[in-house]
Structure 1
Amino acid sequence: MKLVLDRDDLAAAAMTAVGHSEVALERLDVRPAYKASHGFVNNASADVCELAAVTLLQATCFGKPVILLPVTTLGRFQHQTLVTCRGLSVDDIEGRTVGIRSWSQTTGVWVRGFLAEQYGVDLRKVKWVVYEGGHIDGYTDPPWVQRASSPASLQADFLNGRLDYGIMGNELPVDDRIRPAIANAANAATEWAQRNGFAPINHVLGVNVAAARDHSAEICLMYDAMRRVTEAQSAELSIDMHPVGFDALRGPINQVAAYAVEQGILPEYVEFDDLVARSCAALGVLPSRLGG
């Protein structure tokens, strides 16, 4: 089997778990992991792959042979990722330009959901500029989203003043002018998570359906090993940033799916129970085997 995973600790746990079986597990050298998403979803270039939560939902809607293995590989607060270096605040955003790497990027889906839900922003009144397409063959961005002229760079356009705001997580450049557009972003994010009972999640694990059927036992062992790692890290946290298991992922996946439908990224709402059923059917297990 071929594995794509950014986190070394989770990859090591998975490799060790499968090490005594007859199935060879190879970790592909693809970093950051999202660069493997297109090949994994559309061409089965890996068997188990770290995947953005929204990409997994899109893959389900578009009939791709991908199932959810309920392990969060990346979770973080998101309010701070809406940034500006022009002295603007979230209250100024309507009518302004906001750049983001991809419209279907999970970070952007969360942030736009917060803007509409918490700050009353009409998303159609914002000038959205994207720099890449999505990972799913057959998906197109909604018509109110503008593609940046090529060649162009989100970071360069942002720093040079061609964008009023940017939504950037790991892509955020280093510059003393940059400030979060949402005041007290950390407090706002913590309050949102406490009110909803979960934190936003970015990346989970996807499994190719054929691999799930052929190597169910090994994939379940990988799940167990990665669960032990993440649960040990989350034991003393008031908000679990890396939930594992179907029950733990239900809240954040349902919420980001609702936001994605509202933003024209999913053609229809994906029921979490359908994700559970697809995973269990392919792996030949009951939901309780994977924390459900």
Structure 2
Amino acid sequence: MANLQLSLSCWDYDRTKALQNGEVKVKGIDLIYLPNEAEETFWRMVRHQEFDISEMSMSSYMINMDKYQCDYKAIPVFPSRVFRHSSIFINTESGISSPEDLKGKRIGVPEYQITASLWIRGILKDEYGVNPEDLIWYQGGEETPGRVEKLKIEIPKNIELHYIGENQTLNEMLLNGEIDALITARAPSSFTTHPHKVKRLFEDYKTVEQEYYKKTGIFPIMHTVVIKNEILEKYPWVAQNLYQAFEEAKKKCFTDLNQTVALKTSLPWLNNHMQETKAVMGEMFWPYGIEENRHTLEKMVEYSYDQGLISKKFKLEDLFITSTFDKFVI
């Protein structure tokens, strides 16, 4: 029987590099790896279902599963995880010096549903007592005018949300003081070009994020991997084989990161960074699988429900392909 030929749209992460270059094979599958940036992948998959397998925003995936006839289902692989305290940018003349100062301020966001925004709203509420309804929201393109939500969402009635003008960008509005802060996964260009006008709310974000991890045990998940339902119906074995391949690619990545004879990554103090990270987060700080991530995933479901993005609290068994919950051991 010939291998299936399936497309995968996923950014070229170090932890997926072995899948991209063919060093790791997926049993029964010839993988066509398309290294598209995440934002493009999400748009094309949500709007047009262009790929057989795709990296996917966790927030948008939960919305799709809740409100629409979702054409795909996820395996518990998480190619993107990011602590998000570093993703709040402020205008230095806004009078904001602490998270509590965000109350009553004008806050930009490229899409209200993006996973970075989901996490930041949850963290602001849990850790600092700042609720989503305490802020005035502005949604639109960050660097280019015209961005809209990839999926239509319903905003709770207690949320004040404005859509910026067709020729406006959030980056320019932040720089000019038309908004006071910006919550975004991608640092705005003004952060580099005008550092005296735009800075991070948490300038020592590394320390803040490490303390957050020590307190909560959460390393925020941003993205998962989804497979089209039509493929799963014909070839249910694809899910487990793909999951195993992602795990193997990640193992190869960590072998490289732990190498001491020569640096495979262009960071002079990579070994020290690895030691520091493990001291805070443990030996395997980037786990795949359900049980290893249950607390973090359930927190995401809680945040999405509390913020009005989904109408019910999903069980994880409803979000992920159940065959991947089992792990074969010898």
TM-score of Structure 1 vs Structure 2, range by shorter chain:
0.7 to 0.9
Residue aligning to 2:290:
246
Asked if 1:225 is matched to 2:248, the reply is: yes
1:120 partnered with 2:136: no
What are the within-5 Å matches in structure 2 for residues 143-162 of structure 1? 143=157, 144-162=160-178
Q: 1:212 to 1:222 in 2, by over 3 A?
A: farther
Alignment of 1:1-292 (within 5 A): 1-15=6-20, 16=22, 19=25, 23-30=29-36, 32-62=37-67, 63-87=69-93, 88-89=96-97, 90-131=99-140, 132-136=147-151, 138-143=152-157, 144-173=160-189, 174=192, 175-177=194-196, 178-182=198-202, 184-213=204-233, 214=235, 215-216=238-239, 218-229=241-252, 232=255, 233=257, 237=278, 238-239=280-281, 242-276=286-320, 279-280=321-322, 285=323, 287-289=325-327
* CA deviation after TM superposition for structure 1 residue 129, in Å: 0.6
Runs of 4+ deviating beyond 6 Å: none
Distance 1:121-1:12 versus aligned 2 partners, 3 A rule: closer
Partner Cα separation in structure 1 for residue 291 and residue 221 of structure 2: 14
Q: Deviations over 1:193-229 (max 9, x none)?
A: 1222121121221222222342346424423323424
Gaps of 5+ in 1: none
Whole-angstrom CA distance in 2 between matches of 1:206 and 1:126: 33
Larger Rg: 2
What does the per-residue CA deviation read over 1:228-247, in whole Å, with 9 as the maximum and x for residues that have no partner? 24654598523265321111
> For the residues of structure 2 that align with 1:130 and 1:220, how far apart are their CA atoms?
35
Distance 1:59 1:146, change over 3 A: same
Alignment CA distance shift 1:127-1:220 (3 Å) = closer
What is the Cα deviation at residue 121 of structure 1?
1.3
Change (3 A) 1:22 1:242: closer
**Is this contact kept in 2: 1:53–1:253, CA < 8 A?**
no
**Preserved contact between residue 33 and residue 50 of structure 1 (Cα < 8 Å):** yes
Percentage of matched positions with identical amino acids: 17
Q: Whole-Å Cα distance in 2 between the matches of residues 202 and 259 of structure 1?
A: 13
Instruction: Say what the alpha-carbon RMSD is for the aligned residues.
Output: 2.7
State the SS of the aligned residue for 1:224.
helix
Any stretches of 5+ residues in structure 2 without a counterpart? Answer: 1-5, 141-146, 259-273
Cα distance, 1:249–1:59 mapped onto 2, change above 3 Å:
farther
How far apart, CA to CA, are the structure 2 residues paired with 1:28 and 1:117? 38
Corresponding letter in the other structure for 1:35:
E
Paired residue secondary structure (1:73):
strand
1:134–1:231 distance in 2 versus 1, CA, 3 Å = farther
Mark the CA change 1:64 to 1:195 in structure 2 (over 3 Å): closer, same or farther.
same
Distance 1:163 1:2 in 2: 40
- Partners of 1:169 and 1:216 in 2: how far apart? 29
Q: CA 1:185–1:221 in structure 2 vs 1: closer, same or farther (change >3 Å)? A: closer
Q: Report the TM-score, using the length of structure 2 for normalisation.
A: 0.76
Q: Structure 1 length normalisation: TM-score?
A: 0.85
Q: Render the CA deviation track for 1:53-105: whole Å, top value 9, x for unaligned.
A: 11221122133022222122111211121121225222221111000110001
Whole-angstrom CA distance in 2 between matches of 1:217 and 1:204: 15
SS in 2 for 1:228: helix
Q: Is this contact kept in 1: 2:77–2:289, CA < 8 A?
A: yes
Any idea what the Cα deviations from partners look like across 1:109-152, whole Å, max 9, x if unmatched? Answer: 1111111111111321211111143323x534445322112122
